[in-house]
Structure 1
Amino acid sequence: MDPHRHRDENGGNANGLPAKRRRSAPTSISAAEIAKDFAHHDPAVARINNGSFGCCPASVLASQLQWQQLFLRQPDEFYFNRLQPGLLYSRTLVKELINAADLDEVSLVDNATTAAAIVMQQASWAFAEGAFRKGDAVVMLHYAYGAVKKSIHAYVARAGGHVIEVPLPFPVSSNEEIIFEFRKALERGKADGRRVRLAVIDHVTSMPSVVIPVKELTRICREEGVDQVFVDAAHAIGSVEVDVQDIGADFYTSNLHKWFFCPPSVAFLYTKKCSALSSLHHPVVSVEYGNGLPMESAWIGTRDYSSQLVVPAALEFISRFEGGIEGIRKRNHQKVVEMGKMLAEAWETFLGSPPEMCCSMIMVGLPGCLGVSSEKDALKLRSLLREEFKVEVPIHYQPWKDGEVEEKNRNHGVTGYVRISHQVYNTIDDYYRLRDAVQRLVHDEFNCMKFPSK
């Protein structure tokens, strides 16, 4: 039942949920309205790092506040009568967004890191209880998100799993390069009589940012007898097309607070119904333990659930844009490619991947004369751009391997890359400020060797 179906005299509905505001006729949102919805952003900062923490418009924040006040007004009535119908409605909307076959396949969790812990916990139990043989393999991408990597080691390696990393190339020029390395990793995983029990595949890698051919890699996993496929798609929804039935993985997770305009933190975890749903459990054990992952995730004690309840408000905000979420992601992709090319031309460098291998983020090489020679340099340079130039952008350090001198010379010694994002609130001036900041550093003959050693 749609919890927004029946309204009370105060504008709410029969379940006490905040009423969904309706407009008499759909109108495309204006630039002024976008600026107003994101007026809480620091106007002094060129914020081209939506990929790290996302963004949330004022209209969705207002809905979140309404939910929080409903709880504070009468907590018992909120928990007994309003929380679960609201979460059910959010899950129903997510199910439709990702084309899940059944509502039971969709759980709401805090973030993709939590989702990874749920999947890795299940795998660790399989190793510990003998369903998986000790020494069998788990394959993950070298550029897997740091927290997910640690989750794999904390749960799976500790339980006896053998972890294999896929060494992805960067800069990258084609999907075939990724597929080639992935097949080689599966071969290593099956060496010495092992089986590959789990493959962990990013849909969009974080740093460096590259869109991975997840459907193709999942198909290869099926051909090679991999037991389970988990897609970590933290950056996906709102940034790339998501159709979980088409992708075909056993598990798929994505954050709603990165590119889908929800406040932090909320994500979904999709679990294909034919997979072992009953063996998945939330790491926080509550009284709902054993009632299925969706219910376990919907009650993990007294906490603020408001970010999981504002999915309808986020969708209403999205509906104000031409083409909805598909239109937003297409425009973001077009703009970030345009800005990436502008920066590469200004700095006489290059993009880290072809445009078709990026989403709403793209990697752009920094001038080699800046001398980024370590991850510490990259972090210090990022801080310098923030503090001195009011530009917020992540920086990736990519070392050269032995024997790559010729390639290094051809690419002008580039070892640092900025990861620029584009979201609806960004303007061209944000990217001009980054362009000019880097050109100023080059003009002043700045080099990372000038940073203090400590």
Structure 2
Amino acid sequence: MGTHHRDDCAENGGDDNGHLAKRLRPASCPISAAEIAEEFAHHDPSVARINNGSFGSCPASVLAAQLRWQRLFLRQPDEFYFHRLQPALLHSRILVKELINAADLDEVSLVDNATTAAAIVLQHASWAFSEGGFRKGDAVVMLHYAYGAVKKSIHAYVARAGGHIIEVPLPFPVSSNEEIVLEFRKALELGKANGRRVRLAVIDHVTSMPSVVIPVKELTRICREEGVDQVFVDAAHAIGSVEVDVQDIGADFYTSNLHKWFFCPPSVAFLYTKKCSASSRLHHPVVSHEYGNGLPLESAWIGTRDYSAQLVVPSVMDFIGRFEGGIEGIRKRNHEKVVEMGKMLADAWGTFLGSPPEMCCSMIMVGLPGCLGILSEKDALKVRSLLRKEFKVEVPIHYQLPKDGEVVEKDGSSTVTGYVRISHQVYNMEGDYHKLRDAVHKLVNDGFNCTMFPS
């Protein structure tokens, strides 16, 4: 083949000889169980992998597309840089814009991950405090269950610049959105005490641990009513597991990883920045040649690196198109199955779910038998390692100090202090959850308790 049209390359990638790879078209009938198994055959078959939420999963067809992009770059880096990279990134951004219903393409940037997106937004807030746009002592509100790296970023950027940090103490287990709204309103009132203003609210769409779907649209509306300057939604788990309509949600900034629930390889995320005066002053923390040309272009070149994870969004769309109902169908089936498996585990262990089914997405929290004696985060991590090493089960575990003995097992014998966060993605089988169920039963029947771990 001779000279390639760069728009074709933007859609297709190329093979290791520089030839364009033909786009995979959606199958005429829905993908079969055997085809799904083939797409994820690179997973360790001995492991019950029910932790898609942490690192996601990438199908073989998308990995192959990524390899084609990598080889195309290595074959002729200069030609790739000058003629192929930016059109290909633009195509991915166009697809993301349509997925999230952004009003303008300039509102969508591609970055490495949600943590990078948070750094971009919080860096801007830090400058506002340092340069006098925000008053020293004004507040930034975040959820207590915000992702650990984001919480640290808030302190690293905002607290050092003079911002006052307020955490919203969300209840868990949780039974309704009203509980979350009540605590959020209390935090905003605290933020406005002593003449302060709340300058920024950082709200998770799906909290990581414990996992709960947060009513972000309602909380954003409350922020507007209460005079909060800016709203940043950290939605690392959202795209592919809950509906995302950024215009409907109404936040100023919104980010989600594409590698967790949207089948991209690690790592790529989008950052939506609603068109306003603030968005024009956002900058990527890595300063490179495109500095000052707008965040989408700044993010599209931060120096020589592997951009292939950002280029395979068209291939991911092809993969998703093979499923009945597309991404909406995948979301619905994952939600229904994780709820079914969560209830099965809770019934088997005599415990309960950490939230109602309507407050979970493709992940759900399930109480572990209290007799396991999980009394700290270290205990939770040790039990997780035990399940991985001895039983080949990969699942995160959350430690939760109960409130005044309110949460007890159905038989009333012991207090639940540990919860597994199970995920369901298209590759999971019921046997994965049975393996977890049986592993916990064995620990209970053997009389295991966390006090048996070496100190």
Do both share a fold (TM > 0.5)?
yes
Whether contact under 8 Å (2:25, 2:318) holds in the other structure is no
Q: Provide the residue aligned with 2:154 in structure 1.
A: 152
What CA deviation, in whole Å up to 9, does each residue of 1:298-349 have, x standing for no partner? 0000000000000000110000000000000000000000000000000000
Q: Provide the residue aligned with 1:40 in structure 2.
A: 42
Amino acid at match of 1:31: A
Whether contact under 8 Å (2:14, 2:68) holds in the other structure is no
Return closer, same or farther for 1:294/1:436 CA change in 2, 3 Å cut-off: same
1:383 pairs with one of 382, 385, 394: 385
Amino acid at match of 2:39: D
Q: Provide the residue aligned with 2:336 in structure 1.
A: 334
Residue 190 of structure 1: how far off its partner (Å) = 0.0
1:254 pairs with one of 246, 253, 256: 256
Return closer, same or farther for 1:11/1:341 CA change in 2, 3 Å cut-off: closer
1:136 maps onto 2:148 in alignment: no
Whether contact under 8 Å (2:56, 2:260) holds in the other structure is yes
Q: Secondary structure at the match of 1:229?
A: strand
Whether contact under 8 Å (1:100, 1:245) holds in the other structure is yes
- Looking at structure 2, the residues matched to 316 and 76 of structure 1 have their Cα atoms a distance apart, in angstroms, of 29
Residue 277 of structure 1: how far off its partner (Å) = 1.9
2:326 pairs with one of 308, 324, 327: 324
Q: Provide the residue aligned with 2:240 in structure 1.
A: 238
- Looking at structure 2, the residues matched to 97 and 64 of structure 1 have their Cα atoms a distance apart, in angstroms, of 21
Residue 24 of structure 1: how far off its partner (Å) = 8.0
Q: Secondary structure at the match of 1:386?
A: helix
Whether contact under 8 Å (1:229, 1:251) holds in the other structure is yes
1:306 maps onto 2:308 in alignment: yes
2:59 pairs with one of 35, 57, 60: 57
Q: Secondary structure at the match of 2:438?
A: helix
Amino acid at match of 2:187: A
Q: Provide the residue aligned with 1:405 in structure 2.
A: 405
1:106 pairs with one of 108, 132, 146: 108
- Looking at structure 1, the residues matched to 133 and 109 of structure 2 have their Cα atoms a distance apart, in angstroms, of 25
Q: Provide the residue aligned with 1:174 in structure 2.
A: 176
Residue 21 of structure 1: how far off its partner (Å) = 1.6
Whether contact under 8 Å (1:4, 1:20) holds in the other structure is no
Amino acid at match of 2:239: I
Residue 11 of structure 1: how far off its partner (Å) = 9.4
Whether contact under 8 Å (2:92, 2:310) holds in the other structure is yes
Structure 1: 4+ residue segments shifted above 6 A: 10-13
Amino acid at match of 1:113: T
Q: Provide the residue aligned with 1:214 in structure 2.
A: 216
* Correspondences of 1:78-97 after superposition (within 5 Å): 78-97=80-99
- Looking at structure 2, the residues matched to 426 and 264 of structure 1 have their Cα atoms a distance apart, in angstroms, of 20
Return closer, same or farther for 1:5/1:128 CA change in 2, 3 Å cut-off: closer
* TM-score w.r.t. length of structure 1: 0.96
What CA deviation, in whole Å up to 9, does each residue of 1:410-429 have, x standing for no partner? 76400000000000000000
- Looking at structure 1, the residues matched to 309 and 19 of structure 2 have their Cα atoms a distance apart, in angstroms, of 14
Return closer, same or farther for 1:21/1:407 CA change in 2, 3 Å cut-off: closer
Residue 4 of structure 1: how far off its partner (Å) = 7.7
- Looking at structure 1, the residues matched to 53 and 445 of structure 2 have their Cα atoms a distance apart, in angstroms, of 29
Q: Secondary structure at the match of 1:405?
A: coil
Whether contact under 8 Å (2:13, 2:72) holds in the other structure is no
What CA deviation, in whole Å up to 9, does each residue of 1:132-163 have, x standing for no partner? 00000000000000000000000000000000
What CA deviation, in whole Å up to 9, does each residue of 1:366-390 have, x standing for no partner? 0000000000000000000000000
Unaligned runs of 5+ in 1: none
Q: Provide the residue aligned with 1:195 in structure 2.
A: 197
1:449 maps onto 2:445 in alignment: no
- Looking at structure 2, the residues matched to 24 and 139 of structure 1 have their Cα atoms a distance apart, in angstroms, of 44
* TM-score w.r.t. length of structure 2: 0.95
Amino acid at match of 1:260: F
Q: Secondary structure at the match of 2:161?
A: coil
Q: Secondary structure at the match of 1:300?
A: coil
- Looking at structure 1, the residues matched to 156 and 28 of structure 2 have their Cα atoms a distance apart, in angstroms, of 49
Whether contact under 8 Å (1:4, 1:19) holds in the other structure is no
1:126 maps onto 2:89 in alignment: no
Return closer, same or farther for 1:307/1:5 CA change in 2, 3 Å cut-off: closer
Return closer, same or farther for 1:127/1:7 CA change in 2, 3 Å cut-off: closer
Whether contact under 8 Å (1:20, 1:313) holds in the other structure is no
The Cα RMSD (Å) is 1.8
Q: What percentage of residue pairs aligned between the two structures are identical? A: 84
- Looking at structure 1, the residues matched to 278 and 184 of structure 2 have their Cα atoms a distance apart, in angstroms, of 25
1:70 maps onto 2:72 in alignment: yes
Residue 12 of structure 1: how far off its partner (Å) = 6.3
Return closer, same or farther for 1:386/1:99 CA change in 2, 3 Å cut-off: same
Whether contact under 8 Å (1:90, 1:310) holds in the other structure is yes
Residue 276 of structure 1: how far off its partner (Å) = 1.4
Q: Provide the residue aligned with 2:291 in structure 1.
A: 289
Q: Provide the residue aligned with 2:358 in structure 1.
A: 356
Return closer, same or farther for 1:294/1:415 CA change in 2, 3 Å cut-off: same
Amino acid at match of 1:161: G
- Looking at structure 1, the residues matched to 291 and 9 of structure 2 have their Cα atoms a distance apart, in angstroms, of 33
Amino acid at match of 1:88: L
Amino acid at match of 1:167: P
The alignment covers a number of residue pairs equal to: 446
- Looking at structure 2, the residues matched to 163 and 150 of structure 1 have their Cα atoms a distance apart, in angstroms, of 11
- Looking at structure 1, the residues matched to 241 and 409 of structure 2 have their Cα atoms a distance apart, in angstroms, of 34
Residue 215 of structure 1: how far off its partner (Å) = 0.1
Q: Provide the residue aligned with 2:429 in structure 1.
A: 427
